[in-house]
Chains A and B, each alone.
Chain A
Amino acid sequence: MKLKNLAVAGTIAIAATVALAACSSASPTSTASPAAPLSGTITSGGSSAQANAQTAWAAAFQAQNSGVTINYDKSQGSGGGVTNFLSGTYDFAGTDAALTSDQQTQSQTLCGAGGALDLPVYLSGVAIIFNVPGVTKLNLDSASIAKIFNKKITMWNDPALVALNPGVTLPSAKVTPVVRSDGSGTTNNFTTYLSQVQKANWPYPASSAWPVTGESAQQGGSGVVSTVAAGKDTIGYADQSSIAKATAADIQLGTTSTYVTYSAAGATAAFTEAASANPSTKGDLTQALDYTKISGTNSYPIPLLSYDVVCTTFKTAAQAKLTKAYVGFIDSTIGQAVAAKNAGSAPLPASILADVKSSLASVK
């Protein structure tokens, strides 16, 4: 604690010196502000998927800039985050789905003609977790995942599942799929994956609300994880970073015979293969994920991406500077490493980080 205080005092002292030097060297007519340490409050909120990562980022950022307070309200969810952002209460919103074209148009009244920018900040994967007594390892392909969650495969010893899992004794028991009862970005990602990869077995469009009825629906990712763990013969989906000790299935890569266990590197590799820029405005970094393109031997087939949304023009320059500094920190190599260590996310590829940096440079 003492050391930290000393370090802070040191930083301030150095900054003050620099500031003084800047003042003395600047010409008297210059109005440029001195390089003072950052201070102020960032108000934000939205996606609960990136909440743990936001906590870690805020802590790390505040350790460097003690005058900054960062509030991230995860209770709002992605939809609430965007709504509050568009009404002007948030400096940035965390959301699992990029702004729709309607929302992009709306944002122009708040952010000027440039609109708002979706910046990728958080990468993880959707894990398929299960709890079947005696089964510790399970291979699934996309067709069986779609059929299980669409109630077409109802028994654990279904021939399709037995064929995928040689050497594993699957019990003759009913499958209980566990899904989300609340609207969620994880659901949106997962249904996008199913609707792209398994059109024949998954007749529903991508949606943040779970489309199939008659399955055990639970509140929140933690609700799904605890119900799968407490139940018997259950299977569910959740953000990789929230599954704790639950057992996750290995997912088949495309139509190959390779089954991939989730790894952070695998999610990053999958993202690199699947993502293509789909900007809604200049500098916007919305990524369209094409899950059918994921093919690397190590790539995890269901990556999950979350964005932070910022204005291209802030109301005040000071707030712009502060928010830019924070989002810039999130999308730095260090920021991504902090989230990977504390929230279990996967680091975004360097090319995306470079894109974010150049997009942020245009924010004022």
Chain B
Amino acid sequence: MVILAGVAIFLIVQAAPAIAANWQTNASLTTGPTANQASFWTYVAPLIWGTVFVSAIALVMGAPVAIGIALFISHYAPRRIAGVLGYLIDLLAAVPSIVFGLWGIFVIRPFLLPLTVWLNHNLGWIPIFGGQASATGSTLFAGAVVLAVMMLPIITSISREIFLQTPRLHEEAAFALGATKWEMIRLAVFPYARSGIVSALLLGLGRALGETMAIALIVSPSLKFWVQLLTDGQNSQTVAANIALNFPIADTLQRQALIGTGLMLFVILIAVNLIARTIVARTGPGARNKRAQRKARQLPPTDPGVIATADAAAGPVGATTVATAEGVE
């Protein structure tokens, strides 16, 4: 907490002169990377848009795959294969982002080029696939694919752990009601794991929002609000990549401007984390437990009917049930 406050204070103190400066007349800010901007806010807004947009696209592509893999490992794969597969996915998290960036440049870029052209030609009427298709492959699409791969291990390993914690009794109960395996997963596993999946997704999103090198290397950027994924040199730049690309050449005030954009990213990341926590607190099994327990405590304990209701409210994930399930295991 102290460190967090320290970082925040550092960012604010460093960024203040650039945020307060006049961007249209200041000699330093009217040249180089910060040229032609009306104010700090017009500079940072497209960057934030780019950051959020590419991360969202990556999340849309990565999340179903990641959750699918997690489900396969936890409920479908034979135990031995599951162990190896889980281990391999976790290893992905150990790959440095610069390696992902280089992989993106030399493998993913040429690999996606035919798909880029095809999407642009056949689905160009959908705005995000429209525009002049890139000839080099340095598109936001390629960047998002690499980001999706980078998010994979985080989302997979957290959701896998949550899926594995589904009480065995719930699963057995679903089977006993005549559910198929998929129905059992929908009835027992997903409701139990919902908050876990949400927090996994938001942690993955956090990784994507702050990603620097891979995006800096792959995406060919500009400072614009842009939704077309397949164009070259028009893609909205992300905050982190913009800092990495322009920091070396920037002078003192330009650096402060870049730190200012970093401050905005910091605010967004904290917001994402807070939202994640709120969602987990609202919908998590623990939360429902607590609420139910609180309710139970408020009621006179002598009335057996009410206690039964409270237990019912605690629902399928009541503390006693979990304890029993663990006992069975």
Known: A80-B248, A183-B249, A183-B250. A217 touches B220 (CB 8 A): yes
Q: Report the separation of the CA atoms of residues A216 and B245 in the bound assembly, to the nearest whole angstrom.
A: 15
On chain A, the residues within 8 Å of B24 by CB distance are: none
Q: Report the separation of the CA atoms of residues A223 and B106 in the bound assembly, to the nearest whole angstrom.
A: 11
Seen from chain A, the residues whose Cβ lies within 8 Å of a Cβ on chain B are 48, 75-80, 82-83, 102-103, 174, 176, 178-179, 181-185, 205, 207-209, 211, 213-219, 223, 226-227, 230-234
Q: In the complex, which residues 226-247 of chain B have their Cβ closer than 8 Å to any Cβ of chain A?
A: 231-234, 244-247
Q: In the complex, which residues 131-146 of chain B have their Cβ closer than 8 Å to any Cβ of chain A?
A: 134-138
- Total cross-chain contacts (CB, 8 A): 108
Please determine whether B233 and A78 come into contact, CB atoms closer than 8 angstroms: no
Please determine whether B220 and A78 come into contact, CB atoms closer than 8 angstroms: no
Chain B interface extent, by class = 35 or more
On chain B, the residues within 8 Å of A232 by CB distance are: 135
Q: Report the separation of the CA atoms of residues A158 and B111 in the bound assembly, to the nearest whole angstrom.
A: 30
Please determine whether A183 and B224 come into contact, CB atoms closer than 8 angstroms: no
Q: Which of A179, A209, A215 is within 8 Å of B33, CB to CB? A: A209
Please determine whether A231 and B249 come into contact, CB atoms closer than 8 angstroms: no
On chain B, the residues within 8 Å of A215 by CB distance are: 220, 232-233
Q: Report the separation of the CA atoms of residues A233 and B248 in the bound assembly, to the nearest whole angstrom.
A: 31
Please determine whether B221 and A217 come into contact, CB atoms closer than 8 angstroms: yes
Q: Which residue of A lies closest to B34 (CB)?
A: A209
Please determine whether A182 and B136 come into contact, CB atoms closer than 8 angstroms: no
- Is B42 part of the binding interface, using a Cβ–Cβ cutoff of 8 Å? no
Q: Report the separation of the CA atoms of residues A213 and B224 in the bound assembly, to the nearest whole angstrom.
A: 9
Q: Report the separation of the CA atoms of residues A2 and B48 in the bound assembly, to the nearest whole angstrom.
A: 59
- Is B35 part of the binding interface, using a Cβ–Cβ cutoff of 8 Å? yes
Please determine whether A216 and B222 come into contact, CB atoms closer than 8 angstroms: no
Q: In the complex, which residues 23-61 of chain B have their Cβ closer than 8 Å to any Cβ of chain A?
A: 27, 31-33, 35
Seen from chain B, the residues whose Cβ lies within 8 Å of a Cβ on chain A are 27, 31-33, 35, 105-106, 109-110, 134-138, 216-217, 220-224, 231-234, 244-252, 254-255
Q: Do most interface residues of chain A lie in helix, strand or loop, or is the interface mixed? A: mixed
Please determine whether A216 and B233 come into contact, CB atoms closer than 8 angstroms: yes
Q: Report the separation of the CA atoms of residues A78 and B136 in the bound assembly, to the nearest whole angstrom.
A: 28
Beyond contacts A182-B244, A208-B249, A217-B138: 7 other A-B pairs, Cβ-Cβ < 8 A, are A48-B248, A80-B250, A181-B220, A182-B245, A185-B249, A209-B35, A217-B222
Please determine whether A78 and B221 come into contact, CB atoms closer than 8 angstroms: no
Q: Which residue of B lies closest to A103 (CB)?
A: B251
Please determine whether A234 and B136 come into contact, CB atoms closer than 8 angstroms: yes
Known: A181-B221, A227-B138. A217 touches B233 (CB 8 A): yes
On chain B, the residues within 8 Å of A213 by CB distance are: 222-224, 233-234
Q: Which residue of A lies closest to B237 (CB)?
A: A181
Chain A to chain B contacts (Cβ below 8 Å), 17 pairs: A77-B248, A78-B249, A79-B248, A80-B247, A82-B251, A102-B27, A176-B232, A179-B233, A183-B246, A209-B32, A213-B222, A213-B224, A215-B233, A216-B232, A219-B216, A219-B245, A231-B137
Minimum CB–CB distance for A81 against chain B, Å: 8
On chain B, the residues within 8 Å of A219 by CB distance are: 216-217, 245
Q: Report the separation of the CA atoms of residues A102 and B234 in the bound assembly, to the nearest whole angstrom.
A: 34
